[in-house]
Amino acid sequence: MPWLTLTVDTDAEHAEALSEALLELGALSVDLLDADAGTPDEQAIFGEPGEPPPGVWQHNRVSALFDDDQDVSAILREAASSIGLEQLPEHRIETLADNDWVRLTQSQFEPIPISPRLWIVPTWHQPSDPNAINIVLDPGLAFGTGSHPTTRLCLRWLDSNLQGGESVLDYGCGSGILAIAALKLGAARAVGVDVDSQAVTASRDNAIANQVENVQFYLPNDAPKATYDLVVANILTNPLRMLAPLLANATRQGGQIVLSGILEEQAQDVMNIYQQWFDLNAPIFEDGWSCLSGRKR
């Protein structure tokens, strides 16, 4: 059975109200996305644990799904009128065939170049460069597909700085992408830790798919007590603050640490904490996010 999709661009003031009005008028589902995603104007609205979300995007894209027998144009007019929009917003209506679901989802995820020699490749794509180091990874329940700036920052650091033979701890491993990348780039062994059991399962599956060995993934209470040549943690600022003693203790003397998931304006605060144990390098920034690195004294 086909469906009809309605895509509407609107501002922050009307986005949520329009979404709710469409649902009340028969939409089967409604998604709210950043209309500027993938452009220089893309807006990060990620909140920190324990803090209220910072709001909605300034330019919003409302996507609604309807049964194919609905008069979507009329529904949009009624929804717009009910929330006080005098002019019909820019929109488009398309037919979505029943067998288009998988292709629609997959079309959103292309191979991601991290560096000239390192790529993230979904399983439904052929590698753009078969001779590159290609990490096979599909979008899933766990964070870390290479599309977010914080993941890219960490991957580029690994690509530029791993010498080979290191032991690596990936704390907050998500999909396991950083531990897997470290092994493919020459690390000798890796351990991944995450508080989410689904992330641990996803990481184990991804390690098998990438044919990497000498890697184990754990929940925090099950992780071995050890020190590592490199500790990498791509999480968020508040957890990084709280975990500072743990991550410092897990880094051997002379070893290195890489931290990301930190908003640019929060970088100095995190640096002030970790400078107790580490000589830190200048932070690296991308799209409002930062990556910190340093060596333990």
Give the model confidence (pLDDT) of 284-296 as tens digits: 999 899 999 999 9
CA distance 129 to 126: 9
- pLDDT at residue 49 tops 50: no
Residue 198 lies in a domain: yes
pLDDT band at 145 (very low <50, low <70, confident <90, very high): low
Q: How far is CA 228 from the centre of its chain?
A: 25
- Pair (98, 162) in one structural domain: no
Residue 121 lies in a domain: no
CA distance 228 to 25: 57
- pLDDT at residue 138 tops 50: yes
In the chain, pLDDT over 70 holds for what percent of residues?
Answer: 85
- Pair (267, 216) in one structural domain: yes
Q: What mean pLDDT is predicted for residues 257-274?
A: 96
Ordered DSSP codes for 83-143: TT-SSPPSEEEEEE-GGGHHHHHHTT---EEEETTEEEE-TTS--S-TTSEEEE----SSS
DSSP helix, strand, coil percent of the chain (3-state; round to 5): 30, 30, 40
- Pair (98, 157) in one structural domain: no
Lowest mean pLDDT among 117-126, 146-155, 167-176, 238-247: 117-126
Give the range of the structural domain holding residue 88, as residue numbers without chain letter: 3-106
Long-range contacts of 31-35 (CB under 8 A, 24+ apart): 31/62, 31/63, 31/64, 32/56, 32/60, 32/61, 32/62, 32/63, 33/57, 33/60, 33/61, 33/63, 34/59, 34/60, 34/61, 35/9, 35/59, 35/60, 35/61
- Pair (62, 182) in one structural domain: no
Residue 185 lies in a domain: yes
Read off the CATH number of the domain in which 24 is found: 3.30.70.120
- pLDDT, tens only, 182-200: 999 999 999 999 998 988 9
Going edge to edge, which strands form the sheet with 29-34? 29-34, 59-67, 3-11, 91-96
* Total count of domains within the chain: 2
Residue type, 52: P
Q: What is residue 36's predicted lDDT score, i.e. its pLDDT?
A: 63
DSSP 220: G
Q: Which of 54, 81, 106 is the last residue of a domain?
A: 106
- Pair (180, 83) in one structural domain: no
Residue 130 lies in a domain: no
- Pair (96, 229) in one structural domain: no
DSSP H helical ranges for 1-116: 12-24, 72-82, 101-106
Return the H-helix or E-strand segment holding 270: helix 267-274
Q: What mean pLDDT is predicted for residues 26-41?
A: 74
- pLDDT at residue 248 tops 90: yes
In the chain, pLDDT over 90 holds for what percent of residues?
Answer: 58
Lowest mean pLDDT among 43-57, 115-129, 134-148, 154-168: 43-57
Q: What is residue 59's predicted lDDT score, i.e. its pLDDT?
A: 79
Q: What is residue 148's predicted lDDT score, i.e. its pLDDT?
A: 85
Query: Token pair of 292, please?
Result: 């910190």
Q: What mean pLDDT is predicted for residues 281-286?
A: 96
- pLDDT at residue 225 tops 80: yes
Q: What is residue 143's predicted lDDT score, i.e. its pLDDT?
A: 59
Q: What mean pLDDT is predicted for residues 41-64?
A: 59
- pLDDT at residue 141 tops 50: no
Read off the CATH number of the domain in which 231 is found: 3.40.50.150
Q: Is there a contact between 226 and 216 (Cβ–Cβ < 8 Å)? A: no
Query: Token pair of 106, please?
Result: 């997959």
Mean pLDDT over the full length of the chain: 86
Q: Which of 106, 125, 152 is the last residue of a domain?
A: 106
Q: What mean pLDDT is predicted for residues 33-62?
A: 58
